Amino acid sequence: MAVPFIDLRRFEPGFLDRWAGKCREITEHTRFVGGPDVTALETQLTQRCEVTGTVGCANGTDALQLCLRAVGVGEGDRVLIPDSTFWATFEAVVNCGGKPVTVDINPEDLQMDFDAFCGAVEEFQPKAAILVHLYGWGSARLAEFRDFCRQRKLPLIEDGAQGFGVRWRGESLYRGAQLATLSFYPAKVLGSCGDAGAVLCSSTELEEKVRQLGNHGRTGHYDHGLVGWNSRLGGFDAAFLNLSLEYFDARVASRQRIAKLYRQRLPELGFKVCEAPEDYEENGYLNVTLLPPEQRPGVREVLQKHGVGYGTVYPGAMSQQSGAEGFLAGRVGGEQAELLASSVLNLPLFAYLRPQEVEEVLSAMEEAVGA
């Protein structure tokens, strides 16, 4: 039995009919851009993420760019980012005119290393920093990141594209963030029917600034207080997300169950599976299995033979990308991001993955032990 790495078609009974009804309603009322579905989504996200306000936008990359612009990042400004993240984090800085400085990760939680970060702040005097919550959890030292930046008045943007649904110290991961971003790319934990994103704001001033930037700098329909761009959220996306949120808790519970099962069973076979630090309740976004780099090709081969899908998130560090050349303003720390890139393997983990599929993955991994 083949097991896909991800299958986005496992909708709950009744979901597709309800969505079809929604599509008809939106079209009848031509609620294509903005409108009540977008407002309802923003209200829901504000409540769920326990923040002051939310601005829907076109995608998660734009969400980062809106945040960077809102805190004043422009030509030549240095911005700290982790060396292990999705390329969009790097791009967003460059697209705002900034120069990224990469900071190595901590091998324990796989997030940006706090000590290296503090050193990088001293050395590079950045205009802002982006902390990425990767893999469905966050840094073990999140409170220290936030306190340190607040004390130094250094804007800290939290790239939360993978973190929707994560709980930290019993509350939403985003509670207490100055600015955080979400991506609703279909393969994220909360995915849309296209590209979409959002910015979570800790004050109404930031919310207004972000909203203005993402809507042509508008102060009135044809009055423009600043140069922004168009990053508005569509009505279909908002409606799809509102509908999906009704099922979200069940989807996350399903992911968490499977993540837990891998975490129990894979170590019995001798594989190391990463887990969220204390204080976190993960959302089950990704399975992160670490292999000795020399063992990985053999394990992949066995999985391929069994038709089991897998991921390599991410296969390379940001500072090593050919596109980074000419933009990178510095690189702080050791080689942990590269080491992770050469040892990571992600097994299928998505909502409603069936028990017999998990068993299929595990038996392939059992065969791969000697590989």
Ligand X SMILES: *Cc1c(COP(=O)(O)O)cnc(C)c1O
CB 57 within 8 A of CB 198: yes
Helix or strand holding residue 129 (H, E): strand 128-132
CB of 91 to ligand X, least distance (A): 9
Residues 250, 12: contact at Cβ < 8 Å?
yes
Of all residues in the chain, what percent are helix, strand and coil, respectively (each to 5)?
Answer: 40, 20, 40
The maximal CA–CA distance of the chain, rounded, in angstroms, is 67
Size, binding site for ligand X by CB under 6 A: 15
* Contacts to ligand X from residues 186-215, by CB under 6 A: 195, 197
In the bound state with ligand X, the residue whose beta carbon lies nearer, of 210 and 358, is: 210
Which of 132, 344, 345, 364 contacts ligand X by CB under 6 A? 132
Using the rule CB under 6 A, is 162 a contact of ligand X? yes
* Residue (184 or 262) nearer to ligand X, CB: 184
DSSP 88-110: HHHHHHHHTT-EEEEEPBPTTTS
Which of 46, 84, 183, 343 is close enough to bind ligand X by CB under 6 A? 183
161 near ligand X, rule: CB under 6 A: yes
CA separation for the pair 336, 83 (Å, rounded): 9
Amino acid at 261: L
**Among 37, 86, 136, 318, interactor with ligand X by CB under 6 A:** 86
Minimal distance, residue 201 CB to ligand X, in Å: 18
Per-residue binder mask for ligand X (CB under 6 A), 223-262, x = binder: ----------------------------------------
Write the interaction track for ligand X spanning residues 44-83; mark x where CB under 6 A is met and - where it is not.
Answer: ---------------xxx----------------------
Do β-strands 99-103 and 330-332 pair in parallel, antiparallel, or remain unpaired? Answer: parallel
Strands, sheet with 330-332, edge to edge from the N-terminal-most edge strand: 53-57, 197-201, 179-183, 156-159, 128-132, 78-82, 99-103, 330-332
Question: 44 in helix, strand or coil?
Answer: helix
Which of 89, 244, 256, 319 touches ligand X (CB under 6 A)? 89
- Which residues in this chain contact ligand X in the complex, by CB under 6 A? 59-61, 85-86, 88-89, 132, 159, 161-162, 183, 185, 195, 197
